[in-house]
Amino acid sequence: MIDDSQRDGVPPGGEQGETAATPRRDAGAAGHSAARRTVLMVGAAGVAAAVTIRPAFAQTAASVFNCEIPVPDPANSGRYIALNGTLVPAGTRGAFPGAARAFKGEEVRQALQGRSLPGTSYEQGQAYLNYIRRLRAGQSGFTCYASIQMPR
Amino acid sequence: MPPTTWVAAAPDRLASQQLDVLSAVFDRASGQTHLLAEPLPQILAVLNNAPGTSLDVANRLSISFDIEESDSLAQRISECLDELAALGLVVKA
Amino acid sequence: MTHSASFRVGPVGFRIVSDWREPVRQLQQLYGAYPAPIAGVATATARIEAARPWRRWLRPAVHIRGDYIIPDALPLPLSQGLLSAEMAMNLQVALGWRQHMLLHASAVEQGGRAIIMVGASGSGKSTLAAMLGEGDWRLLGDEFAMLGLDDGLLAPFPRLVSLKNESIAEMAARVSVDRLGPLIIGTPKGSIRHLVPRADAIARMDEPARPVLLLFPGFGEQAGLRAVAPSEAFMRLTDSSTNYVALGEPAFVALTRLVRDVPAVAIGYASGAQGVAAVEALWAEVGG
Amino acid sequence: MKAMAHLVAALRDPASVAGLSGPQWSALMSVARGEVLLGTLAHRVADQPLPGSVAAELRAALASANQAQIHALWEAEMCHRALSPLGITPVLLKGTAYAAAGLPNAAGRQIGDLDILVPRDRLDEAEAALISAGWEWVKDDPYDQAYYREHMHELPPLIHKTRDRMIDVHHTILPLTAKPRPDVAAMLADAVALLGDAYPPSRLREGSGVGLNGERTRLVFGSFPPLTPPAGGRGTLQILCPTDMVCHAAAHLFADGDMAGGLRNLWDIHSLLSEFSGGKDDDGFWQDLQSRAQQHQLWPAVHRAIRLSHSLFATNIPSAMAGRVRHDKYYRIRMLARDDWGRESHRLIRLIFYIRSHLIRMPLPMLLRHLWTKWRR
C-alpha cells in the first residue's frame, strides 16, 4: 500500500542527501549527452518558488483555547473597524464599533475555519477577523492569534 | 543602468537535502530553513563561484538543461533572483 | 501559603507551585507512580497562581504561569485547577525545552519501533494513542513527541492523557477508575478527564524508541489512506514544532533524516475502533 | 542563601556552584530563566563539574542562545543590506552590538529586537528604505506615530513582514522628554566600524581586548557581514566606542524603563567595564569614562552602574568610585526581586520603580496629558 510509486517525486535512494544545488538526475553529464538532458521547470511568472519555515507558536492546549483577543486592542478602544480590518475614527460609515467583549482563541479559530464569530453579523465578523489577521507582535492579542494558526 | 550582477551564498554556508520535488535548505548564516522549488537550487548552483547577471544565469542554465519555455526566460530568472535576494541567498555585487 | 509538587515525566523534571492546595493534591495522586526528578533537579517550574493575593479566596481565578508565560492568557476557575496545572506544565515544555526537537504529536511503541501521530487538536491523535496504549502498544506520549537530535530516537514523555468529550466515556469503559482523574466540565474545550497511562508506559519511560511510521490522523475525514510526500511531511512537522527554529541546524538534520527515512501516511477515520484498525493494518505493512 | 543570590554568585564566581543541592539548582535555573540569564549562566558554569541533568539542560540552553544570536545578527545583516545603498552606516546597539563585536557578555546572551542608531537627518531615508525592504509599522495609528516622532528617541517600532522580527531605529539614546541630553553627535562621530568577512560570528573578536582602553582611534573589531561582498565605498555596520557603550548601557538601565530585567543589564555593564578597563588602576579609562559620561549628562547613571556592578559582581573599580550612595540599596532590592519559585517579589518597590520609569521619561504634566489621551481613546 505504501510503495514508492505513491510517494510522488521521491527520488531513488542514491540521490538523497546530495546538495540541492545539484540538479536532479544526471546533471553532471548533461552537457555531454544531449539526448538525456534534464528538463528544468522554471515555473510561471509571478509564482513564488520558495517557502521559509517560520517559528510556530505553542500549539498546546494552554495557548490555543485559553487566550483572548480584544477587538480592537485597549489602546485603540473607541475606534471603529473597517471591513478590511483597519482602524478608522468612530462613526465612519460602513465600519463597525469594537466588540463588546474580547473573543476567545477557540472562537477565533473556529471563525477562521468558516463559523461566525459569536454575536456578530456576517460583515461585522469579517471586519473583526480582518483586524485580527493584521495583528502584529507587540499588539494585544497577537500571541493568541499566532497560537491558533493551525497546520494547513 | 548596467544590469545587476548577483553573487550567491557560498555553498558551505548552506546545508541542503533534496526531499522530492522540493529541496530543504538550511542557511547557517541566517538560521532559516527554506523549501526551494526548481529553478532556485539550480540558479544558486550556476552562480556558485561565478557571479553573473540574470542573462548569464539563463545562458548557463540553458547549457545544462532543457528549459520548458524560453521566450520569457530572462524575465522569469530575474524574478527568481529577486526572490532569492529577499531570502538573503543572493546579493547584488 | 505555597503548595508544591515535584516529579519526573521522561526527561523533564517538573516543579509545580500553586497558591491552592487542592490542585496539588490531585496532581500528587495522579502522578503518584512517577519518579522524583533525577538528583532532585527540576528543569521546569510551572506555577498556578492568583493575580492578586486576595483573589486566592475572593472569586478565585487561576493564572497559568511559570518560567515562561503567555501574555493574553485567560485565567480559569479554581474548579479547573488541575487542568490549569497540566496546561502550565505543557506550556513550560512547549516554550522552554531545548534538549529534543518537540513535535506536537502523540506516539506509541511496539518492539522498540514507534509510530508518531501528528495533528492539530481535534484530529484524534490523543484518543488514538490512548486506545492503542490500552492494547498491544506502549504509550510514549499524547501531547509531545521528543525527537533526539543526535540519535533520531523518540524519548518517551508519558504525561497524563487528556481525554476530551466523547473519548471520556469510550476510555472510561476500558480502564479501572483509579486511573482516572476528576471529570472537569465547562472548560473552553468542553469536558476533560485525565487518564494515568498504563503502568508499563511509566515504568519504561527512559526507554527510547525508533520512529518507523509517521501518521497524520484526520478524525471525521473520509476513510482511507494517502501517502504524504517528504516535503509535505517536513512542512507539517515544522509547523507542529515549537522549537524547530530555535534549535537550528541539528533540528534540520534530524527532521530531514526523519522524513526521508520514515514513510508518512495521512489516514481518515470515522470512529476510534476504525482508527485503531487502520493503524494496525498499516503497521502490518511497514513490517511491524 | 536565596536563588537570586546564587545566580549573582554563579555569574561572579562560577566555582561557587559546587555543592548546590538539586532543589537549589531547580530554583537557580528558574530565576535565571526569569531574568533571561539562563544562557549566560550556562556559559559561565560550562567548565564546572555539574549534576548530569543540570549539564544537559544548560548545554541545550547555550546551544539555543547561540542559534538565537545567529538570527539576531542576520537581522543586522539584512538591515545593513537595506541601508548600505544609501550610504547609511547604522550603529548597532545593545545585544546585537555585543554579539557582533564578540564581547564577553555576548556568550549565551539573549537578544531581543534589533536596535540601531542613525543620524537624525537621515531618519526619513532610513525609514523609507526599511519599509521598501519589507519592514512594516507595528502601530499605524496617528496618535502613536505622532507621539513617537515628537517625543521619543526612536521611530515607532517596525516589524519585518516575513521574518517577524522587530527593529527599533533610534536617533538618540534617551527619550527627547527625559532630562539628560546625551551628545549623540559625538557618539555617532566616534562610533567604531565592524569590518571583515570571517564566519561564524562566534569567532569575531580579533581586535577587541583589554588594550582598548583610552584609545580613541577607530578600532576594527572582528568581522561581521557573513555574506556581503566587500564593496568599495559602501558603508558597513558600526558599534559605539567603548566608553559610549558603557554610557548607553547605564542610561538604558537607570534612566529609561522600570528596571525589569535589570540584573542582565547590570551584568552587561560589569562585563563591559571588565573588558574595556585594565582594572582599577587604569586611570586613563576611568577618567575617560567619567568625562564622556559628563559630556552626555549621564554621570549619575553611569556612576550608580559602576557602584552597583562593584557591589554585586565585585567589578574591579577605583576605590574613589566605590562606596554607597543614598537609595543604592533600593536599586539592589529591585534588581534581586524574585523568590525561589521564580515569582517576582517586593511588589511595592517594583511599583515605585514603575512609576519612576514614567516620571524620568517625561515631565509630570506631560505624562498626565499622555495618559489622559491614551485612556480616553
What residues 216-245 of chain C have any CB closer than 8 A to a CB of chain B?
Answer: 229-231, 234-235, 238, 244-245
Which residue of chain A is at minimal alpha-carbon distance from B77?
A42
What's chain D's average pLDDT?
A: 83
Which residue of chain D is at minimal alpha-carbon distance from C47?
D341
Q: Does B73 touch chain D (CB under 8 A)?
A: no
Q: Does D351 touch chain C (CB under 8 A)?
A: no
**pLDDT given for residue A13 in this prediction:** 35
Percent of chain C whose predicted confidence (pLDDT) is above 70: 98
**Closest in D141, D157, D164 to A54, CB measured:** D164
Q: Average the pLDDT over D311-331 and give the result.
A: 90
**pLDDT given for residue A21 in this prediction:** 41
* Confidence check: pLDDT of D199 > 70: no
Could you report the per-residue pLDDT of C174-210, keeping only the tens digit for each?
Answer: 999 999 999 999 887 789 999 999 999 999 999 999 9
Higher pLDDT, C171 or D374: C171
* Confidence check: pLDDT of A60 > 80: no
C200 Cβ contact partners less than 8 Å away, ≥ 6 residues apart: C138
* Confidence check: pLDDT of D137 > 90: no
Contact C164, C191 (CB under 8 A): yes
Interface A:B, Cβ pairs < 8 A? 121
Q: How far is CA C239 from CA A56, C72, C106, C120, in A?
A: 6, 22, 15, 10
First to last CA, chain A: 25
**pLDDT given for residue A46 in this prediction:** 77
Q: Which of C279, C281, C284 is nearest to C117 (CA)?
A: C279
Contact C219, C122 (CB under 8 A): yes
Which amino acid, one-letter code, is at C229?
A
Contact C164, C125 (CB under 8 A): no
Could you report the per-residue pLDDT of A7-40, keeping only the tens digit for each?
Answer: 333 333 333 333 434 444 433 333 444 455 788 8
Confidence class for position D150, pLDDT limits 50, 70, 90: confident
Label the pairing between strands C224-227 and C264-269: antiparallel
* Confidence check: pLDDT of D209 > 70: no
**pLDDT given for residue A151 in this prediction:** 34
Contact B91, B7 (CB under 8 A): yes
DSSP assignment of chain A, as one string?
Answer: ---GGGSTTPPPGGGTTS-TTSPTTTHHHHTT-GGGPEEE----TT---EEE--PPP--SHHHHSSBEE-SS-GGGTT-EE-TTS-EE-TT-TT-EEPPSSPEEHHHHHHHHTTPPPTT--HHHHHHHHHHHHT--TTSTTHHHHHHT----
For A50-59, D219-228, D316-325, which range has the lowest pLDDT when averaged over its residues? Answer: D219-228
CA A39: distance to chain centroid?
32
**Closest in D71, D81, D231 to B31, CB measured:** D71
**Closest in D157, D159, D377 to A76, CB measured:** D377
Could you report the per-residue pLDDT of C110-123, keeping only the tens digit for each?
Answer: 999 999 999 876 77
How far is the alpha carbon of D350 from chain A, nearest alpha carbon, in Å?
A: 22
**pLDDT given for residue C137 in this prediction:** 97
Q: Average the pLDDT over C227-256 and give the result.
A: 94
Confidence class for position B93, pLDDT limits 50, 70, 90: confident
Q: Which of D74, D165, D85, D187 is nearest to D128 (CA)?
A: D85
How far is the alpha carbon of C213 from chain B, nearest alpha carbon, in Å?
A: 17
How far is the alpha carbon of A1 from chain C, nearest alpha carbon, in Å?
A: 7
Contact B12, A32 (CB under 8 A): no
**pLDDT given for residue B67 in this prediction:** 83
Chain A neighbors of C87, CB-CB under 8 A? 60-62, 66
Q: Does B7 touch chain D (CB under 8 A)?
A: yes
Look up cell 515628537; give the residue.
Answer: D150
CA D7: distance to chain centroid?
19
Q: Does A53 touch chain B (CB under 8 A)?
A: yes
Could you report the per-residue pLDDT of C257-284, keeping only the tens digit for each?
Answer: 999 999 999 999 888 889 999 999 999 9
Q: Which three cell numbers stand for residue D196?
A: 571583515
The helix or strand, by DSSP H or E, that contains position D289, with its residue range, turns out to be helix D283-295
3-state secondary structure D124-176: HHHHHHHHHCCEEECCCCHHHHHHHHHHCCECCCEEECCCCCEEEEECCCCCC
How far is the alpha carbon of C17 from chain D, nearest alpha carbon, in Å?
A: 7
Q: Average the pLDDT over D264-271 and give the result.
A: 97
How far is the alpha carbon of C235 from chain B, nearest alpha carbon, in Å?
A: 9
Q: Which three cell numbers stand for residue C282?
A: 498499516
Q: Average the pLDDT over D279-308 and give the result.
A: 94
Could you report the per-residue pLDDT of B50-75, keeping only the tens digit for each?
Answer: 999 999 999 999 998 888 765 688 88
Confidence class for position D140, pLDDT limits 50, 70, 90: low
**pLDDT given for residue C221 in this prediction:** 81
* Confidence check: pLDDT of D102 > 70: yes
Chain D neighbors of C13, CB-CB under 8 A? 26, 53
**Closest in C15, C17, C43 to D53, CB measured:** C43
Q: Average the pLDDT over D86-114 and give the result.
A: 90
List all chains that touch chain C, counting a touch as 3 or more CB pairs closer than 8 Å: A, B, D
Could you report the per-residue pLDDT of D53-65, keeping only the tens digit for each?
Answer: 999 999 999 999 9
For A9-23, C270-284, D139-153, D346-360, which range has the lowest pLDDT when averaged over its residues? Answer: A9-23
Q: Which of C93, C189, C49, C166 is nearest to A65 (CA)?
A: C189
How far is the alpha carbon of A136 from chain C, nearest alpha carbon, in Å?
A: 14
Among B32-41, C54-63, D102-111, the range of highest mean pLDDT: B32-41
Spatial separation of the C-alpha atoms in residues D256 and D248, rounded to whole Å? 10
Inspect the interface and report whether the beta carbons of A77 and D377 lie closer than 8 Å: yes
Inspect the interface and report whether the beta carbons of A78 and D376 lie closer than 8 Å: yes
Crossing angle of helices B73-87/B40-47, nearest 10°? 80
Chain A neighbors of C227, CB-CB under 8 A? 2, 6-8
Interface C:D, Cβ pairs < 8 A? 79
If one counts every other C-beta atom within 10 angstroms of the C-beta of residue D271, the result is 23
* Confidence check: pLDDT of D227 > 80: no
Confidence class for position C250, pLDDT limits 50, 70, 90: very high
**pLDDT given for residue D223 in this prediction:** 33
Q: Which of D116, D99, D92 is nearest to D238 (CA)?
A: D92
Spatial separation of the C-alpha atoms in residues D219 and A23, rounded to whole Å? 45
How far is the alpha carbon of A102 from chain B, nearest alpha carbon, in Å?
A: 35
Q: How far is CA D363 from CA A94, D255, D260, D369, D370, in A?
A: 41, 13, 22, 10, 11
Q: Which of D164, D163, D183, D161 is nearest to D172 (CA)?
A: D183
Higher pLDDT, A110 or D181: D181
Say whether the ipTM exceeds 0.90: no
Crossing angle of helices D22-34/D3-12, nearest 10°? 80
How far is the alpha carbon of A134 from chain D, nearest alpha carbon, in Å?
A: 10
Chain A neighbors of C239, CB-CB under 8 A? 56, 151-152
**pLDDT given for residue C283 in this prediction:** 93
* Confidence check: pLDDT of B92 > 70: yes
Could you report the per-residue pLDDT of A83-101, keeping only the tens digit for each?
Answer: 988 889 988 999 999 998 8
Which residue of chain C is at minimal alpha-carbon distance from D61?
C98
Could you report the per-residue pLDDT of D71-80, keeping only the tens digit for each?
Answer: 998 999 899 8
Inspect the interface and report whether the beta carbons of A75 and D374 lie closer than 8 Å: yes
Could you report the per-residue pLDDT of C66-107, keeping only the tens digit for each?
Answer: 998 876 677 889 999 999 999 999 989 988 999 999 999 999
**Interface with chain A: mutation pick from D64, D141, D161, D167, highest number of A CBs within 10 Å:** D141
How far is the alpha carbon of D226 from chain B, nearest alpha carbon, in Å?
A: 7
Burial of D261 (0-12, 13-18, 19+ CB in 10 A): middle
**pLDDT given for residue A36 in this prediction:** 57
Look up cell 494552554; give the residue.
Answer: A62
**pLDDT given for residue A58 in this prediction:** 44
Burial of C67 (0-12, 13-18, 19+ CB in 10 A): buried
Interface B:C, Cβ pairs < 8 A? 36
What's chain C's average pLDDT?
A: 92
Confidence class for position B3, pLDDT limits 50, 70, 90: confident
A123 Cβ contact partners less than 8 Å away, ≥ 6 residues apart: A83, A96
Q: Does B50 touch chain D (CB under 8 A)?
A: no
Spatial separation of the C-alpha atoms in residues A144 and A57, rounded to whole Å? 9
**pLDDT given for residue D363 in this prediction:** 66
Which amino acid, one-letter code, is at D308?
L
**Cα angle value A131/A133/A135 (rounded, 5°):** 75
**Closest in D67, D199, D227 to B31, CB measured:** D67
If one counts every other C-beta atom within 10 angstroms of the C-beta of residue D190, the result is 18
Higher pLDDT, C222 or A94: A94
Q: Does C2 touch chain D (CB under 8 A)?
A: yes
**Closest in B37, B65, B84 to A23, CB measured:** B65
| C76: three-class secondary structure by DSSP | strand
**pLDDT given for residue C105 in this prediction:** 94
D201 Cβ contact partners less than 8 Å away, ≥ 6 residues apart: D69, D70, D73, D99, D100, D102, D224, D226
**pLDDT given for residue A27 in this prediction:** 37
**pLDDT given for residue C115 in this prediction:** 97
**pLDDT given for residue C282 in this prediction:** 93
* Confidence check: pLDDT of D40 > 90: yes
Spatial separation of the C-alpha atoms in residues A143 and A151, rounded to whole Å? 16
* Confidence check: pLDDT of B12 > 90: no
Inspect the interface and report whether the beta carbons of C231 and B17 lie closer than 8 Å: no
**Closest in B15, B24, B32 to C234, CB measured:** B24
Spatial separation of the C-alpha atoms in residues A35 and B31, rounded to whole Å? 40
Contact D296, D180 (CB under 8 A): yes
Q: Which of C143, C125, C17 is nearest to C81 (CA)?
A: C17
